[in-house]
């Protein structure tokens, strides 16, 4: 099975900072990667699919890149409402172990 | 309104059974695969099971294989999860999630319900 590894597991940054989260697949998955945002006590929300396509309604400060095994989620200017845990998900094959472990983003 | 509403969670003793339901509305239910995803308290997301649009393809996480059964009734716009032989480690918030695709094996989840809490304890 393909394993998804996110880093860091948590980070603290200031409002306005550029934040980058990394997701690495143990084997190539082309661009079959999605990112989700889960705010505290809330339901996960789809942010990005196909590695770099922004879901409708998602602010443009969010962006995704990568292909193959290495992917990044970038928040260009961190806002207080971006405090959340972010998960990557591969979908090139059956969903066993489909999610990364998550990255918790906090405000410094 | 496009939404998914889960029900059926609760407190159950180890070894007992529970059936979760998910009612879909606001979209053409039988066009899409559906999934159950769970989240143990303070932990990350874990995919549990998925089912294709016509129930022709079904999959389970190794952790629940042989104990859980997913099904759907397209006439009732409903998804189900029959959970047998429950264990303490099955304690989690169970989300119903819609796939963007008809095939459960190659999709991401573009709509989530609020979840239903399952607690397995004696």
B47-83 confidence digits (pLDDT tens): 999 999 999 999 999 999 999 999 999 999 999 999 9
Report whether pLDDT(A97) > 90: no
Which chain B residue has its CA at the smallest distance from A33's CA? B108
Identify the DSSP state of A55: P
Q: Do B45 and A99 touch (CB under 8 A)?
A: yes
Bridge-based pairing of strands B116-120 and B109-112 is unpaired
Q: Do residues B49 and B109 touch, judged by C-beta distance below 8 A?
A: no
Mean local confidence (pLDDT), A88-99: 92
| Burial (Cβ within 10 Å: 0-12, 13-18, ≥19) of residue B17 | exposed
Mean local confidence (pLDDT), A55-80: 98
Report whether pLDDT(A94) > 90: no
Mean local confidence (pLDDT), B14-32: 98
Report whether pLDDT(A95) > 90: no
Q: Which of residues 20-39 of B touch A (CB under 8 A)?
A: 35, 37
Which chain B residue has its CA at the smallest distance from A86's CA? B44
Mean local confidence (pLDDT), A97-106: 96
CA gap B8, A1 in Å, rounded: 32
CA gap A71, B102 in Å, rounded: 26
Q: Do A99 and B44 touch (CB under 8 A)?
A: yes
Q: Do A96 and B62 touch (CB under 8 A)?
A: yes
Kindly state the greatest CA–CA separation across chain A. Answer: 38
Q: Which residues pair with A13 in a beta bridge?
A: A107
Q: Do residues B46 and B61 touch, judged by C-beta distance below 8 A?
A: yes
Q: Do A55 and B110 touch (CB under 8 A)?
A: yes
| Burial (Cβ within 10 Å: 0-12, 13-18, ≥19) of residue A58 | middle
């Amino acid at each position: 099975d393909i394993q998804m590894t996110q880093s860091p597991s948590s980070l603290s940054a200031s409002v306005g900072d550029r934040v980058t989260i990394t997701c690495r697949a143990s084997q190539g998955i082309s661009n079959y990667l999605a990112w989700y945002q889960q705010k505290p006590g809330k339901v996960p929300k789809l942010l990005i699919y196909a590695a770099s396509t922004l879901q409708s309604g998602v602010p443009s400060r969010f962006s995704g890149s990568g292909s193959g095994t290495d992917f990044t989620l970038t928040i260009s200017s961190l806002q207080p409402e971006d405090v959340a845990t972010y998960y990557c998900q591969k979908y090139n094959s059956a969903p066993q172990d489909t999610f990364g472990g998550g990255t918790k983003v906090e405000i410094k | 309104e496009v939404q998914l509403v889960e029900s059926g969670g609760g407190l159950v003793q180890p070894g007992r059974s529970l059936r979760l339901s998910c009612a879909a509305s606001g979209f053409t239910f039988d066009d899409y695969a559906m999934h159950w995803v769970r989240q143990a308290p303070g932990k990350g997301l874990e995919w549990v099971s998925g089912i294709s649009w016509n129930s022709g393809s079904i999959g389970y996480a190794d952790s629940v294989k042989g104990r859980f059964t997913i099904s759907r009734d397209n006439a009732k716009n409903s998804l189900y999860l029959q959970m047998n032989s429950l264990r303490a480690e099955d304690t989690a918030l169970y989300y119903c999630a819609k796939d963007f695709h008809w095939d459960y094996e190659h999709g991401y989840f573009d709509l989530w319900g609020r979840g239903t809490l399952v607690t397995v304890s004696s």
